[in-house]
Amino acid sequence: MRVFRRLALGASVLALALSACSTGGGGATVKIGSDGFDEARVVAEVYAQLLEAAGFTVERTGIGMGTRAVTKAALESGQINLKPEYIGSGLAQGYGGESTNNSDTNKQRLQDKLTPLNITVLDYTPAQDTNAFVVRRETAEQYNLATMTDVSAVQDELKWALATDCPTNPVCAAALKDAYGIDQPDATLLDACSGPMADALLNKTVDVAELCSTSPEIIVNDWVRLDDDKQTQPADNLAPLVRNDLLSGLDRTKFEKTLNDISAKIDTDTLGQLYHDVTIDKKDIAVVAREWLQSIGITGPGAS
C-alpha cells in the first residue's frame, strides 16, 4: 500500500500550523455538511479539523447528512454553511448547468448559479473524481501505456469493459472516438465504477476498464489510471461552497486562505488514498483526516 506523500510545505501552511493555538478565527460557527458517501465525508472532516487547527469554531452534525439534494437544500437554507462539492456534478446535477472538461469554466458557471443565492465557490482541488480508464500494471508495462493516446495505438490488442451507457453517452463512446480514434463496439458493458467492472479487470477478463478516478481498487491492486491527455471527461474537481453570511461573520481572509491552501494539496492520488483508507481499511474518518493533516505538518485542535 502506498503511504501519504510528504508534501513540501508552503510558508502559509506552516505558519498556520504554528499559530493554530494562539490565533482565533472569528465568532461565527462553521456548520459543515457533506453528502453521505465516504469520499465527501472524509473531505468534510479534513475541513473541520483544519479549521479547528486555525482557531475557528466548527460544528460537524451535517457531515454525511444525505444526498446532494439534501445538502443543497441545507446549504441554501443555512442549516449548514459549508460543504465540499464536485464542481462539474454540482453544476449539472444540482443547478441545471452544463458542465465542461475545463475546471475554470465549471467553477465560474457554478458560481454564476450560486451568486443569487449568496453562496461562494472557493478554490478547487487538483483532485478530480471523474470517469477514468484503467489497466493492470503489467499491461501498462507491456505496451508502455501512460495516456489514452498511448492506448489508442494498441486498442485492438486489448479487451475492453466500458460503462453500460457508453454507446449513447456523449462523454464515452463518442468522445473516445472523436478525440482518440478509439472505437470498441464489442466491449463488455458493465456499470461504471462498480464491483463487477473492477472484478473483470482483476480477473483478466478485460484489459481496460472504466472506473472512477478515485476508485479504491486502483490503489489496492496497484493499477494504472491512464491520463485523459485530450481532456474528454467532464472536470469534477472538489471545492468548498460557503454561505456569504458565514464569510461576513468571521475573518474572511484567513478563512478562505486556510481552505484554499489545503485544497491546493489534495490531488487525485491523495483523494483516492483518503477514500481507500475509509472504505477499504475501515478506518475512522476522523483518524484518516487527522493522520493526513499530520503528514503535511498541520496539528492543533481537531488535528492533534
The reported pLDDT for the residue numbered 7 is: 35
Kindly state the average pLDDT of the residues 259-280: 95
Kindly state the average pLDDT of the residues 103-110: 97
Give the range among 2-11, 98-107, 219-228, 239-248 with minimum mean pLDDT: 2-11
What are the start-end ranges of the E strands in the chain?
29-35, 57-66, 82-86, 119-121, 131-135, 160-163, 188-190, 208-212, 224-225, 238-243
**CB neighbour burial string for 27-56, b if at least 16 within 10 angstroms, e if fewer:** ebebbbbbbeebbbbbbbbbbbbbbbbbbb
Nearest to 214 by CA among 261, 169, 278: 278
The reported pLDDT for the residue numbered 302 is: 66
The reported pLDDT for the residue numbered 193 is: 84
Tell me, yes or no, if the two domains 11-128+235-295 and 131-225 fold the same way: yes
- Specify the pairing of strand 57-66 against strand 82-86: unpaired
Which residues are CB-contacts of 208 (< 8 A; sequence separation ≥ 6)? 133, 134, 135, 139, 151, 158, 159, 160, 161, 201, 226
Kindly state the average pLDDT of the residues 254-262: 98
- Fold classification of 131-225 is D-Maltodextrin-Binding Protein; domain 2 (3.40.190)
Q: Give the C-alpha separation, 22 to 160, whole Å.
A: 56
Residue 137 has pLDDT above 60, yes or no: yes
Tell me the pLDDT band of 22, cut-offs 50, 70 and 90.
Answer: very low
The reported pLDDT for the residue numbered 212 is: 92
40-76 pLDDT tens trace: 999 999 999 999 999 999 999 999 999 999 999 999 9
* Residue spans per domain, the chain: 11-128+235-295, 131-225
Kindly state the average pLDDT of the residues 83-88: 97
Percent with pLDDT over 90 in the chain? 83
Sheet with strand 224-225: strands edge to edge: 188-190, 160-163, 208-212, 131-135, 224-225
Residue 255 has pLDDT above 90, yes or no: yes
142-192 pLDDT tens trace: 999 999 999 999 999 999 999 998 999 888 999 999 999 999 999 999 988
The reported pLDDT for the residue numbered 25 is: 63
Domain 11-128+235-295: which CATH class?
Answer: alpha beta
CA torsion, points 215, 216, 217, 221, in degrees to nearest 10?
Answer: 130
The reported pLDDT for the residue numbered 39 is: 94
The reported pLDDT for the residue numbered 303 is: 66
The reported pLDDT for the residue numbered 21 is: 39
34-50 pLDDT tens trace: 999 899 999 999 999 99
